[in-house]
């Protein structure tokens, strides 16, 4: 059954929606604030995100913005009545749909079905990038090596996708930072080294053939040297 992540700080509403969704057979996980919602979303494994906009900590629009950097997870925003700007901004930022509070559970269920159906169609059009026995499915957000599933965070996934799209090309830390983190080089390139280490730990360390290579003084390259 599809797994749904519900990020909603009104705990009573969250529990009610959770019960109804479970009753329909969905698996449901809850977060009550933006930061933990974002962390859970980034661990992957969800088929749909129900995201409230007014949240403590990071608000829903910011959660959406960060998720969209690395993932095409279907997102339905839960918005307050009359919050027209939030709806427009949410859709501009890549939300798939929104529903205005208070909503009926039937309407929510209908919108969930539509969003899940659309994402199944998208998934069928997904691109598989690969290098040796490592493969990445862009739409399903899935990475495997030697047929074993590897769990990556959103950022690690984006980094690996960038390496795969530029397979055999040596990439500088500055290039990687600009493309994957989306900002100009500001001397913070050690974050790239940190994430390359995380990624290596997951995709290379337990395998004999290493795919991610350091090119001293230049940067990194993903290639199969075997």
In angstroms, the CA 127 to CA 165 distance is 11
In angstroms, the CA 60 to CA 89 distance is 11
In angstroms, the CA 213 to CA 194 distance is 14
Task: Pick between residue 4 and residue 77 the one whose CB is nearest to Ca ion.
Answer: 77
Task: Pick between residue 50 and residue 192 the one whose CB is nearest to Ca ion.
Answer: 50
Ranked by CB distance to Ca ion, the top (closest) residue is 54
In angstroms, the CA 41 to CA 31 distance is 10
In angstroms, the CA 118 to CA 35 distance is 27
Task: Report in angstroms how near the CB of residue 224 gets to Ca ion at its nearest.
Answer: 48
Task: Pick between residue 55 and residue 150 the one whose CB is nearest to Ca ion.
Answer: 55
The SS3 call for residue 85 is helix
Task: Report in angstroms how near the CB of residue 186 gets to Ca ion at its nearest.
Answer: 34
In angstroms, the CA 71 to CA 161 distance is 11
Task: Report in angstroms how near the CB of residue 2 gets to Ca ion at its nearest.
Answer: 23
Task: Report in angstroms how near the CB of residue 60 gets to Ca ion at its nearest.
Answer: 8
Task: Report in angstroms how near the CB of residue 56 gets to Ca ion at its nearest.
Answer: 8
Task: Pick between residue 77 and residue 131 the one whose CB is nearest to Ca ion.
Answer: 77
Closest CA relative to residue 78, chosen from 57, 105, 113: 105
Contact 139, 125 (CB under 8 A): yes
Site for Ca ion, rule CB under 5 A: 9, 52, 54
Task: Pick between residue 101 and residue 122 the one whose CB is nearest to Ca ion.
Answer: 101
């Amino acid at each position: 059954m599809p797994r749904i992540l519900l990020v909603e700080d009104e705990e009573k509403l969250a529990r009610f929606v959770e019960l109804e969704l479970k009753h329909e057979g969905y698996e449901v996980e809850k977060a009550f604030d933006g930061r933990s919602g974002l962390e859970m979303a980034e661990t992957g494994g969800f088929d749909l995100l129900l995201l409230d906009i007014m949240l403590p900590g990071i608000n829903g629009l910011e959660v959406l913005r960060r998720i969209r950097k690395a993932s095409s997870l279907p997102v339905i925003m839960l918005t307050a009545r009359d919050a027209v700007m939030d709806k427009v901004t949410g859709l501009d930022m890549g939300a798939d749909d929104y529903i205005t509070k208070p909503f009926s559970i039937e309407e929510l269920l209908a919108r969930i079905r539509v969003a899940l159906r659309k994402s199944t169609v998208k998934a069928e059009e997904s691109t598989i990038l690969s290098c040796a026995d490592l493969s990445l499915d862009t739409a399903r957000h899935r990475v495997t090596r030697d047929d074993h599933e590897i769990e990556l965070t959103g950022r690690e996934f984006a980094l690996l996708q960038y390496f795969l799209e530029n397979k055999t090309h040596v990439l500088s830390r500055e290039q990687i930072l600009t493309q994957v983190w989306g900002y100009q080089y500001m001397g913070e390139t050690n974050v790239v080294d940190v994430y390359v280490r995380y990624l290596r730990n997951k995709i290379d360390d337990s395998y004999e053939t290493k795919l991610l290579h350091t090119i001293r003084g230049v940067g990194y390259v993903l290639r199969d040297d075997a």
